[in-house]
Amino acid sequence: MANDAYVRKLDPPYGIFGLPPSNFVSTHMIKNSMPVMEIRPSKPSFKTGLTLFTVQDDIETYDKILNNLGFKIEHPLRIAFLADNFPTDTFTNDYGETFLQKFTDVASQGMSQLAQMTGARTGTEALKQYGNIISGMSNLGGAAGKVFDVAGKGLTSFVEGAEKIQQQLSKGGGAAGAGASIAGNVVNKMLAGNRVDFPQVWRNSGFSPSYTVTIRLYNPKPGNYESTLKHIVGPLAAILTLAIPRSQDGYTYNWPFFHRVKVPGIWELNPGVITNVTVIKGGDQQAIAYNQRLGMVDVRLDFVSLYTSMLIEEGDANITNRPTIRSYLQNLLEDKEVEPVYNTAAKLGGGTTAPKLISPNRTFENALSPPRLALIQPRSSSPTLIEGDEARVDVDVITKAASLKASNDLIGLA
């Protein structure tokens, strides 16, 4: 295990991994333009009933493993990713034939073909013609002819007997007689290969979310050891710890962490897992320095839900810890806190306030959906442009901006 003195605390801008390098002009715009997800490593927790288990935070175990690699982070883990893969949610309903359909498919393949060859519309008609054909083969003479004659007459007698029974049932009168007659006709036609098309019934429903994110790690100084440790090795350790199976003896291993993942306003998985991690060293730009240290690393993560269905509550049901329409819609009303974009005067000198975390008071726990869908009220004004004192700009900066504008007016550049 790594000595605590050698454990480095990873402190990315705004507490978010994956943000590209920026300056005082572009920092807020870059942060505003990139989607950010919040990941909480979790472990299964047994639950009585058909649910079997849910997941709960396992930050303590995660921190121990990450400390053993020489790093520590603040939780929840927030990661910015590229908006290159649009999230897709697929809801399906599966319908199929009933058991009655199998019962009505009583005609054998041979019987169906026989009816088609003889042009018969019913099973008895097809059997009668087949019996006549066999009887006609009695002209062969000898023992074979006698066999064909007996078989043909027997088959014809069987068909005539069946027709008489059907006629007697139809003479019964009343609803019972009419029903028996209809049923007999239907069965007779099905024996000839006719089909009955029953309406399909519901079998199952499915929910298939497809969430893939690309995290781009930048190293502004690949020639520098500390820069590589801070911008590439540390963040990669934090991400891979989420998805790699664990071992305590070096011989056996077990499952990686389960997760609760939230991208406010876009998607949420509770619970979810990472099914695939792809690390592209150098990224699409093949950014590798002369000393063969990495200037860029692309990490692609595939997330799936532990459940294959999404439910909608009926009546007073309040379902938690699994995908529901209520939590799905509630997430679409969530948002991340947007940093203000400074006006022209502020851009010249930059702001004087220190960067702050996105939504520092928002956590996964208090963002879970309430018993009823809570509509979030829209903001009364846009935070995009802030004038006056709220821009937090030094007086000297404003004076320089005014002087620059006066100079531009003088030379005709205004």
Is the confidence at residue 207, as pLDDT, over 90?
Answer: yes
Cα R_g (the chain), whole angstroms: 37
Residues forming a β-bridge with 280:
298
Question: Could you tell me which residue, 364 or 114, shows the higher pLDDT?
Answer: 114
| Owner of token pair 């406010």 | 264
pLDDT at 347: 40
Range of weakest confidence among 106-110, 272-276, 333-337: 106-110
Is the confidence at residue 334, as pLDDT, over 70?
Answer: yes
Task: Pull the structure tokens for residue 175.
Answer: 């609803």
What values do phi and psi take at 377, rounded to 5?
-70, 135
Residues forming a β-bridge with 311:
324
Q: 106: helix, coil or strand?
A: coil
Is the confidence at residue 131, as pLDDT, over 80?
Answer: no
Whether the CB-CB separation of 80 and 17 falls below 8 Å is answered with: yes
Task: Pull the structure tokens for residue 167.
Answer: 């006629």
Whether the CB-CB separation of 16 and 36 falls below 8 Å is answered with: yes
Whether the CB-CB separation of 200 and 282 falls below 8 Å is answered with: no
Give pLDDT tens digits for 274-311: 999 999 998 888 888 888 899 999 999 999 998 999 99
Domains of the chain, by residue range, sit at: 4-93+204-338+364-373, 99-199
pTM: 0.66
Question: Could you tell me which residue, 399 or 176, shows the higher pLDDT?
Answer: 399
pLDDT at 199: 87
pLDDT at 338: 82
